[in-house]
A and B are shown apart, each in its own frame.
Chain A
Amino acid sequence: MENRRTVADGIRLGLRAVVYAVLGGAALIVVVTVGSVLGPLLALDLSTPPVAAWWTVFTAITVQGVPFLLLGTVVSAAIGAFVPERVFTRLLPRREVLAVPVAGAAGVVLPGCECASVPVAGSLMRRGVAPAAALAFLLSAPAINPVVLVATSVAFPGQPEMVLGRLAASLATAVVMGWLWARFGREEWLRPPKRSGGHEPGGGPRAFVSGLQHDFLHAGGFLVVGAAAAATFAIVVPRSLLEVFTGSPWLSVLLLALLAVVLCVCSEADAFVAASLSGFSPTARLAFMVVGPMVDLKLIALQTGTFGRAFAVRFSAATWVVAVASSVLVGWWLL
């Protein structure tokens, strides 16, 4: 009996080793082949001007983003570890209609990027906060907190109206989405967030270090994705093609609003990317910064994981439309 189990275990182990070797070997061969054929040519040859320029723009966006990312994650980890969540619940009004704008404005106090706000919104719902209010907070927190606003003012020196526009358009979008959810939202779209995807409850220095390292690495990875996409966009897309869109104010707003979804730049760094898209109208860049922290590919993935797909798809689509509309209105009014 004992023996047979050992044999079975041995066979299973052997099979697993074979599968790993075959899959790993195949992957390795592909990587080595592609790397040896294209690698020296494409990836590392800094004497080719476009490649060198790609690397420079890519590292520039990353280097610029790191201090802000770190500041944001330090403060958000500190709040996560040292501020009990019941503080948030106690501060909210009981009536949903009033709770939504209050929760939206409360987004100011959580200086995290969007990756941090999804688990926080999930835990707020678990603690009995009305979903509409938690969702307003989810949308506003990454968009209007002080770190993001300071980063925006650094990226657009001498243009305080850009910071104000971002604040107004983002807050408006968050509150409108909260109210829309309160009026039209259905409980069954929202898979009740389980005890997952969040950080370990509890507090203290250990939770601080754990939250900090996780948030920084997670957001940092997405910053790199965004920097690579933005650098590729800057090098590959010919100027003339961009000018087709920069010429038309409506198309350029829609284009940058879509670009924000695809690029997935962290909200603490997206102002710098927006500033680099120098050919576009201020309203289009505003739309980029309003949509980016609220709807992008990584957020849709995070929301699917936390709240379920039925929710993520409907919510993201509606948010995109509301965000574009509010940035056009605010841009028309302020910029």
Chain B
Amino acid sequence: MRRYGPAVLLALVGAAILRVSLFSELYLRYVQEGLRPYLVVSGVVLVLLGVVVAVLVRTDGEDPEHGHAHGPAGPRVAWLLTLPALALLLFPPPALGSYSAEREAAQRAAQGVGSFPALPSGDPVDLTLGEFGSRAVYDSARSLKGRTIRLTGFVTRGDGGTWYVTRLLVSCCAADATTAKAEVRGADAPPVDTWVTVTGTWRPRGALGSSAAWPPVVDVTSVRRVAQPDNPYEKR
């Protein structure tokens, strides 16, 4: 039975990858959208490889692993692959939320003050929290002024009664997440980690590009609870 170890492992890892990339959108909790085709191909290749290895073991009773130091069960360290594989199959870990956002001091994208491309017309205009923050702190043309904007994120709490609508920005995988957030005024705070869509207007504060302008503030007229979006992160 141990001779089938490598085959089972390969198929298990392949199945786990396919479960989050092909049969669901769960991969978006961990990596960026662009990786999906590669994940699907990898999953298929791994499952096929597992089958081929199993057939080879079965047909000539000889394990496909020749004269190597770690015996018929394959490299022992490989069994660690069962950890992430079983995790993905049995209890896919949730998207990062307020815990990670609060550990990570919200970072302003380091950039200079300048002008931004015009916002699309029509109110309310949907913005990512990253874009809202950049425009609020760095836009010399003040393109947010007088516009009704809509932001989607989860709830985090600050000192006193303040609360924020927050989103994690990911450039590659969840391990490199950084935080973008906007302070919400004019509405009571929903429970932490609730996903909300807030609609309102930007309230300018602080000098342009200074740390007093951060985090940006939004005066809201409505706070609506929403389901967690398929992609819980924003692309950095």
A147-159 vs B, CB cutoff 8 Å, 1 = contact: the mask equals 0000000110100
Residues of B with C-beta under 8 A to A70: 42, 45-46
Stretch at the interface among B49-57, B128-136, B137-145, B208-216: B49-57
Contact status of A213 and B17, CB under 8 A, knowing A67-B42, A70-B42, A218-B78? no
Tell me if B94 and A154 are in contact (CB < 8 A): no
Interface pairs (28), CB distance under 8 Å: A49-B97, A58-B93, A59-B88, A61-B175, A63-B17, A64-B175, A66-B42, A157-B172, A197-B68, A200-B66, A200-B67, A206-B56, A209-B56, A213-B6, A213-B65, A216-B49, A217-B6, A217-B9, A217-B75, A218-B74, A218-B78, A224-B80, A225-B77, A228-B80, A230-B175, A234-B175, A273-B175, A278-B176
Tell me if A199 and B87 are in contact (CB < 8 A): no
- CA distance in complex: A275, B202 (Å): 33
Closest chain B residue, CB of each to CB of A218: B75
Tell me if A217 and B10 are in contact (CB < 8 A): yes
Most chain B beta-carbon contacts within 10 A, residue among A56, A70, A234: A56
Closest chain B residue, CB of each to CB of A195: B67
**Cβ of B204 under 8 Å from chain A:** no
Closest chain A residue, CB of each to CB of B78: A217
Residues of A with C-beta under 8 A to B103: 239
Tell me if B56 and A60 are in contact (CB < 8 A): no
- CA distance in complex: A239, B100 (Å): 11
- CA distance in complex: A200, B46 (Å): 22
Report the contact-size class of chain B (Cβ under 8 Å from the partner).
Answer: 35 or more
**Cβ of A133 under 8 Å from chain B:** no
A33-85: which have CB < 8 Å to B? 44, 46, 49-50, 52-53, 55-64, 66-67, 70, 74
Tell me if B10 and A276 are in contact (CB < 8 A): no
Residues of B with C-beta under 8 A to A216: 10, 46, 49
- CA distance in complex: A155, B105 (Å): 22
Residues of B with C-beta under 8 A to A225: 77, 80
**Cβ of A220 under 8 Å from chain B:** yes
A123-155: which have CB < 8 Å to B? 154-155
Can you list the 5 inter-chain pairs with the closest CB atoms, starting with the nearest? A221-B77, A49-B99, A217-B78, A276-B175, A55-B93
Closest chain B residue, CB of each to CB of A202: B66
**Cβ of B1 under 8 Å from chain A:** no
- CA distance in complex: A218, B68 (Å): 12
- CA distance in complex: A69, B130 (Å): 32
Residues of A with C-beta under 8 A to B172: 64, 154-155, 157, 272, 275-276
- CA distance in complex: A262, B35 (Å): 28
Residues of A with C-beta under 8 A to B9: 217
Closest chain B residue, CB of each to CB of A69: B42
B87-144: which have CB < 8 Å to A? 87-88, 91-100, 103-105
Closest chain A residue, CB of each to CB of B79: A221
Q: How far is the CB of B103 from chain A (nearest CB, A)?
A: 6
Residues of B with C-beta under 8 A to A228: 80, 83
Residues of A with C-beta under 8 A to B75: 214, 217-218, 221
Contact status of A220 and B13, CB under 8 A, knowing A66-B42, A213-B53? yes
Q: How far is the CB of B104 from chain A (nearest CB, A)?
A: 7
Contact of A64 among B35, B77, B83, B95 (CB under 8 A): B35
Residues of A with C-beta under 8 A to B64: 206, 209-210, 213
Residues of B with C-beta under 8 A to A203: none
Residues of B with C-beta under 8 A to A214: 6, 65, 68, 74-75
Give the A-binding residues of B (Cβ under 8 A).
6-7, 9-10, 13, 17, 20, 27, 29-31, 35, 38-39, 41-42, 45-46, 49, 52-53, 56, 64-69, 74-81, 83-84, 87-88, 91-100, 103-105, 171-176, 178
Tell me if A157 and B171 are in contact (CB < 8 A): yes
Report the contact-size class of chain A (Cβ under 8 Å from the partner).
Answer: 35 or more
Q: How far is the CB of B32 from chain A (nearest CB, A)?
A: 9
- CA distance in complex: A53, B101 (Å): 11
Residues of A with C-beta under 8 A to B20: 63
- CA distance in complex: A49, B97 (Å): 8
Known A-B contacts: A62-B84, A63-B88. Give 17 more (CB < 8 A): A44-B91, A46-B93, A52-B93, A56-B94, A56-B95, A59-B93, A63-B173, A64-B31, A66-B42, A67-B35, A70-B46, A155-B172, A210-B64, A218-B74, A221-B80, A224-B81, A272-B172
Residues of A with C-beta under 8 A to B104: 239
Tell me if B173 and A218 are in contact (CB < 8 A): no
Contact status of A199 and B77, CB under 8 A, knowing A209-B52, A217-B6? no
- CA distance in complex: A228, B84 (Å): 10
**Cβ of A118 under 8 Å from chain B:** no
Tell me if A59 and B30 are in contact (CB < 8 A): yes
Residues of B with C-beta under 8 A to A278: 176, 178
Residues of B with C-beta under 8 A to A66: 13, 17, 39, 42
Q: How far is the CB of B176 from chain A (nearest CB, A)?
A: 4
- CA distance in complex: A50, B175 (Å): 13
Residues of A with C-beta under 8 A to B65: 210, 213-214
Closest chain A residue, CB of each to CB of B63: A210
**Cβ of A196 under 8 Å from chain B:** yes
Q: How far is the CB of B205 from chain A (nearest CB, A)?
A: 26
